[in-house]
Structure 1
Amino acid sequence: MEFWKLFVTALMPVLKVLFLTAVGTILALDRFGILKKDARMHLNTMVFFVFIPALALSNLAEAITFKSLVMLWFMPLNILLTFIIGSALGWLLIKITRAPRHLHGLVLGCCSAGNLGNMPLIIVPAVCKERSRPFGDKDACNRNGLAYASLSMALGNIFIWTYVYNLVRISSCKNSKANDVDDSPMNLVSLPETGQENTSTCPVGPLVSAENVSQANDFASGLEIEIARPDGVAKSLQVTKQAKVRKLLKKSAEKINLKALLTPATIGSIIGLIIGAIPQLQKILVGENAPLHVIEDSISMLGDAAIPAMTLLVGANLLNGLKGSSMQFPIIIGIIIVRYLALPAFGVGILKGAIHIGLIHHDPLYKFLLLLQYALPPAVSISTITQLFGAGVGECSVVMLATYVCASASLTLWSTFFMWLVL
């Protein structure tokens, strides 16, 4: 296919995203007041708990089988590589720009964690619907593309809430200790109400599951009962090991956020994968002739609302970046260079090597999505994480605004090149 036609095909989805994003920004303006703070919160709750899980479940249940799931094994490794390379480049950026300590987690998160859910779910179906049909039949392309994007969203969500979450938490704690701040319980649970950064808190994390800590404490109590039994010297070595296990469990329960990890999107993806991987379940729920197809159809209808709602929210949330902050200009430029120049270049090299070795099956759409994962703007979830810990909230809004404005040109050019490369 000619390069110009590929450019137009890549441009159309980006223009659609820009249009919906602009509508979201306009609706959030004070003059209109439709997407005010409360409205955004309620819509975001609907997207998070209903629309995205429904979209992931229906797409994966319909398009994924056990055989195709085995063929997609390279995607988790590819996402892991984006985080590793992005973190290394982010660390270099911190050293070069001498970024403030409380922004280390933000910089590393923005460089490593791309928007692996929202953007592919918007771009891939839009590319499939173009008249040029770069990836073949529209229906098959749309079905497979949404399944790939849903799996990407689930995997990306796991990496973000295990890796980036703890990066921001650790950097906010280090900054708090350096300033000798008050570590009272009130400070630990309070969230910033404005765009200003809050460097006076060192929370373990508002989303840490109390049930996890309670279970660890119950297990530790059971160990203490065992330790109290005088079973002789031979038992003392076992007591020491049990004490170490107890300490490790308590530490893990405090730091690992299982509730944040198992988000509704991840749970929906897991259920969808189970249905798709088990032929008997898929025959019962998926397809016009399935006895319970009304359930899958209803879930699919809910999922259809996810993409426009997410895009409107992105536009509304970017409005916060216009208020400005004390974010250093070199850091913003550095994040843009990492995300839109360095990472995609590494991605092309990695995919070329993987194809040469024979690690990836020959599906152009799958290859396109793997490459796209290196060229995406920072994940929107980073804004939520910075608000949880009060570390660089205003700066995060500015970074998001700058990177998403640049994403329109970057995604168009890289998508054009990626399609030319895989077709």
Structure 2
Amino acid sequence: MEKSLLSILMETQSGGGESILATTKFAILPIAKVFTVCFMGCLMASKYINILPANGRKLLNGLVFTLLLPCLIFSQLGRAITLENLLEWWYIPVNVVMATISGSLIGFVVACVVRPPYPYFKFTIIHIGIGNIGNIPLVLIAALCRDESNPFGDPNKCSQDGNAYISFGQWVGAVVVYTYVFQMLAPPPGETFDTLEEEKLPTKAPVNAVPEQVPLQTSEEPVTIALESSKGGKIVSQLRHLVEKLKLKQIFQAPIIASILAIVIGAVPFLKQLILTDDAPFFFFTDSCLILGEAMIPCILLALGGNLVDGPGAGTAKLGFRTTAAIVFGRLVLVPPAGLGIVTLADKLGFLPKGDKMFKFVLLLQHSMPTSVLSGAVAILRGCGKESASVLFWVHIFAVFSMAGWIVLYLGLLF
């Protein structure tokens, strides 16, 4: 990095108070903006106003992840990326994988020490190891770059580069969530996280339903046998099994598709001049995506603030205070120093572009964010959604303070 931690401390003691004060301002103001918009969302969802009820927040989340976020990724990443940049940015997805590995190892150590209640051992590892590498960093970059006097220079270039770097790593994060996290959050064999036993549910079906199923099964057997006997049928059945096994429908969601399209179109000069440049014939499409993408930041913050209105709920009681506090401490305090060491080592080895401070800043942010909201979505599918919601509540509350401190340190190291 440009400065060592020791040199920053020496500058603080030798009259560098003004620069440290400026750095603190640029670190705290984005967090304050994020907290303010989240508070507005929480207020709108409260029982006193109640214009953002649970169904409304669900629709707003769907709008963000299906339309607004893909538009932001496509427009910002596509305009910033080139074939040369694609080769220079190779360490961004590697950093996401490294963040997952280091965070999971720290989560494993914390889980071994704390010994969470059964069956939340892997749950603890995941909620410490998987950070929010997309949504919150995008919000922080937008809030930081909005200031004309930000340390990264031109606000437009600052925002475009930061959004491009973050978007370039999002597809890896989504693959990690819907493969590694999905498998790790599986309940123990034959059991569930809830008190209901799923294996008893089929016995509640009416008896007269059994004869109705028999002709359906017998009528489909010849077709199934005929399909499997042919080579084409075997290939189709194998492809179906592969799609179900790898959860490809969950992996290839709208933000991932937008990232792939942005990378492909942005890396091909002819396609980029056709769609993404200011004088392109089809720039009206990109400009529309830019307009919609600008709405992503306030919408997702309003939804996040609204989700916090319900509080931790019953999930904290199941996990216990000790486990919940350990997850918060591990994610916000123990993981970022490990990430700082990883990024510093990568810089010393020459893996990072020289002189690009925004690049390093985004890499550091990937290690310092609260637990990923997508892990909460996977937890709902696995039957531990209440416990995950309580963890997300407490992690995001304390992240307001931890992120401010880490950003102060990162900006001090970079500048």
Residues 259-408 of structure 1: matches in 2 within 5 Å? 259-325=249-315, 326=317, 327-362=319-354, 363-391=356-384, 393-408=385-400
The whole-number CA distance in structure 2 between the counterparts of 1:16 and 1:262 is 32
Instruction: Please tell me the residue identity of whatever aligns with 1:7.
Output: T
Instruction: Identify the residue that residue 422 of structure 1 maps to in structure 2.
Output: 414
The question of whether the paired residues in 2 share the 8 Å contact of 1:129 and 1:138 is answered with yes
Cα offset for 1:157? 1.6
Flag structure 2 segments of 5+ consecutive residues without an equivalent.
1-17, 204-222
Deviates more, 1:44-53 or 1:100-109: 100-109
Instruction: Identify the residue that residue 410 of structure 1 maps to in structure 2.
Output: 402
TM-score by length of 1: 0.82
Flag structure 1 segments of 5+ consecutive residues without an equivalent.
188-216, 227-241
Cα offset for 1:162? 1.4
Instruction: Please tell me the residue identity of whatever aligns with 2:372.
Output: A
Instruction: Please tell me the residue identity of whatever aligns with 2:377.
Output: T
The whole-number CA distance in structure 1 between the counterparts of 2:358 and 2:57 is 33
Cα offset for 1:174? 5.7
CA RMSD of aligned residues (A): 2.6
Deviates more, 1:345-354 or 1:131-140: 131-140
Instruction: Identify the residue that residue 17 of structure 1 maps to in structure 2.
Output: 34
The whole-number CA distance in structure 1 between the counterparts of 2:304 and 2:117 is 27
1:141 match: secondary structure: helix
The whole-number CA distance in structure 2 between the counterparts of 1:351 and 1:58 is 28
2:120 match: secondary structure: helix
Instruction: Identify the residue that residue 176 of structure 1 maps to in structure 2.
Output: 192
Cα offset for 1:179? 8.8
Instruction: Please tell me the residue identity of whatever aligns with 1:345.
Output: P
Cα offset for 1:251? 6.3
Cα offset for 1:141? 1.0
Cα offset for 1:130? 2.3
Instruction: Identify the residue that residue 153 of structure 2 maps to in structure 1.
Output: 136
Deviation string, structure 1 residues 362-408 (Cα, Å, up to 9, x no partner) = 210000010111110001112211211212x2222221111111111
Deviates more, 1:178-187 or 1:27-36: 178-187
Are the structure 2 counterparts of residues 25 and 178 from structure 1 closer, same or farther at C-alpha, using a change threshold of 3 Å?
closer
Residues 139-218 of structure 1: matches in 2 within 5 Å? 139-168=156-185, 170-171=186-187, 173=189, 175-176=191-192, 181-183=197-199
Deviation string, structure 1 residues 14-46 (Cα, Å, up to 9, x no partner) = 000000111111111122111101111211111
Cα offset for 1:47? 0.9
1:290 match: secondary structure: coil
1:294 match: secondary structure: helix
Deviates more, 1:248-257 or 1:50-59: 248-257
Percent sequence identity is 28
Deviates more, 1:152-161 or 1:377-386: 152-161
The question of whether the paired residues in 2 share the 8 Å contact of 1:172 and 1:389 is answered with no
Residues 114-125 of structure 1: matches in 2 within 5 Å? 114-125=131-142
Cα offset for 1:111? 1.0
TM-score by length of 2: 0.83
1:255 has 2:248 as partner: no
- Count of aligned residue pairs for this structure pair: 374
Are the structure 2 counterparts of residues 320 and 298 from structure 1 closer, same or farther at C-alpha, using a change threshold of 3 Å?
same
The whole-number CA distance in structure 1 between the counterparts of 2:57 and 2:196 is 36
Instruction: Identify the residue that residue 15 of structure 2 maps to in structure 1.
Output: none
Cα offset for 1:261? 0.3
